[in-house]
Structure formats: C-alpha cells, structure tokens
Amino acid sequence: MKIFITGGSGLIGQHLNVELSKSHEILTQFYKHIGNCSEFNSVRFAINDYETLSSIFKTFKPEIVIHTAAVSNADRADQLPADEVYDVNVNATQKLSELCRKHQAKLIYTSSDLVYAGYRGSYLMEESKLIPISLYAETKLMGEMKVRKTIPNHIILRVALQFGFGLNHSRSHFQFVYDELKAGRKIKLFADQFRSALSLTETARMISELITKSVSGETINFGGADRVSRYYLGKEICRVCKLDENLIEPITMEGVHAMYKVEDVSMNIDKLKQLGIVPKAFRDSVQEILTR
Ligand SMILES: NC(=O)c1ccc[n+]([C@@H]2O[C@H](COP(=O)([O-])OP(=O)(O)OC[C@H]3O[C@@H](n4cnc5c(N)ncnc54)[C@H](OP(=O)(O)O)[C@@H]3O)[C@@H](O)[C@H]2O)c1
C-alpha cells in the first residue's frame, strides 16, 4: 500500500517509518528535525502549508494517511500561543481530513488517552466521559471531532503514553528515567497516575497490523496490556537492569502541586483485541527494550 505518514520525524513517526517501510511504499513528512526520514522517501514542510499538503495527494496518491504530526504534549502546547496549537492540531487535521475524503484515502488519526476524564476510575471504555484538562488534550479531542465529521473512512486511535527509546533526536520520558538511574542519580516519579503505557515498537507493530484490517469509522483505545504508574515503570527498569530501586522516590500529584492532575486514564482495550491486535505484557515489553 502507499502510506503517507505525517510527523515522520517524531517519537512515534520514526518507529512507523522503520516498521511500515518493510512491506509498504511510504512517504514520510518532517519539519524542524529530520530524524530517520533521510533514510526513507520523505518530504519537508509545515503541516499547515496546505498547498504542499494538497500536492502530495496528487503526486504520491496515498491510500492511507497516518496523521501523527502535532504539538504533542501539554507542556509544549502551554509554551506556544493557543492559536498556533489550534492551527497545528485542529485546523491541519481538518484540512487533512478533507483531502483524504476528496482523494479516497483512509485517515488514521493519533489522538490521546488524555482526552478522557482522569478521575472516573480505571480501564476506561471508548464511550467513557471525555474531559480534556489541558490545551493539548482539548485540541486532540477537537481533532477527533473534525476527523469524525469530515471523513467516514477513518480510524481514531486514542494512543496511550509511549515508552521505550526514541530514535535520533527524539527523547522519551522513559529514556530520561533510564539515563538518570543508570548514572546513579535520584529521581522522583508519580506513583498515583495511571496509564496503559505502550511501547514505541509495539505501537508501530500494532499500527502495521491495523492497516491490514477492514475497519473504518471507529474510535479505538490504543494502549498496552497493563495499567501502570511512572513509579512502577521506573522500578521495572531497575529490576531488568539490576539498578538500585532506592534511587526512585515515589511522589504524589498533591505533593508536588502537579499542573494537570490526571489520576487514571488507563484504557479498556477489548475493542483492539477483538480486531486480533494484542499488545505484549508491560513487563515483557520493558524486558525486550532493555535487553535488545
Ligand atoms: N508520545 C506519546 O506518549 C503520545 C501519547 C498519546 C498520543 N500521542 C500522539 O501521537 C502523535 C505523535 O506523538 P510523538 O510523541 O511522536 O510526537 P513528537 O515526537 O513530538 O513528534 C511530533 C511530530 O510532529 C511534527 N510537527 C509538529 N509540528 C509541526 C508543524 N507545524 N508542521 C509539520 N510538522 C510538525 C514534528 O516534526 P519536526 O520535529 O520535524 O518539526 C514531529 O515529526 C501526536 O499526535 C500525539 O498527540 C503521543
């Protein structure tokens, strides 16, 4: 298949480039960083440069578009003017949806687990209450709404917190934790925030499986097999790498006056599993990443 990946230089995008290029013809987009896009058929432009975006549909003719380009987390979004975040995360998603509809391409949109209300309990279903509490999460939810309204042939993935090693310039929180612990430095990690963390390699593998399924018009929780805190994640790194667990101090959101108190956006992934897409157990994923 011909697949156009937006955000190909990002944390997830670079892993997608590697995985999807194994069996498909890809075109991958980057902007300020090149990452591994130089190793693939790639194109550099700002996602709100709609002339260039339109031209890709005429020249490359993608059958599938995987839209990951975004102002991709709450801290980054807070540092930018709100209209700029809106333009990248909402307007560009709208435009891309229109182009996909016009050119009969399927759109896979990477939304976020942070669109859910984080205080309603664990293992949230796709129909659970949505209350995004940051500008970032709000614009990801608005992106979802644009996709749903504009292009019937879509899949919206509510992507969980990613872990694992980023390629090239990309850095994950997991990498920071690993580097600090490896250097014998003390770190503080939240013990009272829970997510269905999913490894970067699993994300790429599972998207690669998903595109072969005849599923459309669906919103799907795209998370890992287990509900974990960052504290637990740190302890797993220590267990696998035989590092000192006492370097990790468990902290709470109240204790440090966290800006966005998202207690629990762990997700029920039955819908994903019913499609035959099954993530590895969290411990197996951590083991795989650290012993590769
Ligand atoms: N990482 C997570 O834990 C996580 C969790 C849930 C959902 N998600 C979602 O997954 C997607 C990918 O996340 P990520 O962690 O891979 O993000 P990332 O590492 O920050 O990468 C973002 C990508 O978007 C591109 N981009 C940003 N602004 C752009 C603009 N104005 N024009 C063109 N390209 C632009 C970046 O290009 P350059 O760097 O080249 O400028 C980069 O390729 C996002 O939609 C995010 O909301 C991520």
Examine the domain organization and report whether 155 and 27 are in the same domain. yes
Query: Per residue in 212-259, pLDDT tens?
Result: 999 999 999 999 999 999 999 999 999 999 999 999 999 999 888 888
Q: Are the beta carbons of 190 and 6 closer than 8 angstroms? A: no
Examine the domain organization and report whether 232 and 124 are in the same domain. no
CATH number of 70's domain: 3.40.50.720
Query: Per residue in 28-87, pLDDT tens?
Result: 999 999 999 999 999 999 999 999 999 999 999 999 999 999 999 999 999 999 999 999
CATH number of 261's domain: 3.90.25.10
Q: What average pLDDT does this structure show over 167-190?
A: 97
Residue type, 85: V
Probe target for ligand 1 pocket from 6, 33, 72, 170, with the most ligand atoms within 8 Å of CB: 72
Examine the domain organization and report whether 113 and 143 are in the same domain. yes
Examine the domain organization and report whether 204 and 242 are in the same domain. no
Examine the domain organization and report whether 207 and 280 are in the same domain. no
Examine the domain organization and report whether 215 and 148 are in the same domain. yes
Angle at the Cα of 282 from the Cα atoms of 277 and 288, rounded to 5 degrees: 95
Examine the domain organization and report whether 82 and 207 are in the same domain. yes
Please report, to the nearest 10 degrees, the dihedral formed by the alpha carbons of residues 125, 128, 130, 131 taken in order: -110
In whole angstroms, give the CA distance from residue 292 to residue 289: 6
Domain count of the fold of the chain: 2
Print the domain residue range for 38. 2-162+197-222
104 CB neighbour count, 10 Å cutoff: 12
Residue type, 90: V
In whole angstroms, give the CA distance from residue 54 to residue 100: 10
Examine the domain organization and report whether 149 and 192 are in the same domain. no
Examine the domain organization and report whether 137 and 249 are in the same domain. no
Query: Per residue in 70-127, pLDDT tens?
Result: 999 999 999 999 999 999 999 999 999 999 999 999 999 999 999 998 988 899 999 9
Q: What average pLDDT does this structure show over 141-162?
A: 98
How far away, in angstroms, is 53 Cα from ligand 1 center?
A: 17
Q: Are the beta carbons of 166 and 33 closer than 8 angstroms? A: no
Examine the domain organization and report whether 250 and 127 are in the same domain. no
Q: What is the mean pLDDT of the chain?
A: 97
Examine the domain organization and report whether 130 and 251 are in the same domain. no
Q: Tell whether ligand 1 has an atom less than 6 A from the beta carbon of residue 134.
A: no
Q: Which of 288, 266, 155 is nearest to 209 (CA)?
A: 155
In whole angstroms, give the CA distance from residue 124 to residue 193: 14
Examine the domain organization and report whether 238 and 270 are in the same domain. yes
- Tell the residue nearest (CA) to atom 43 of ligand 1: 7
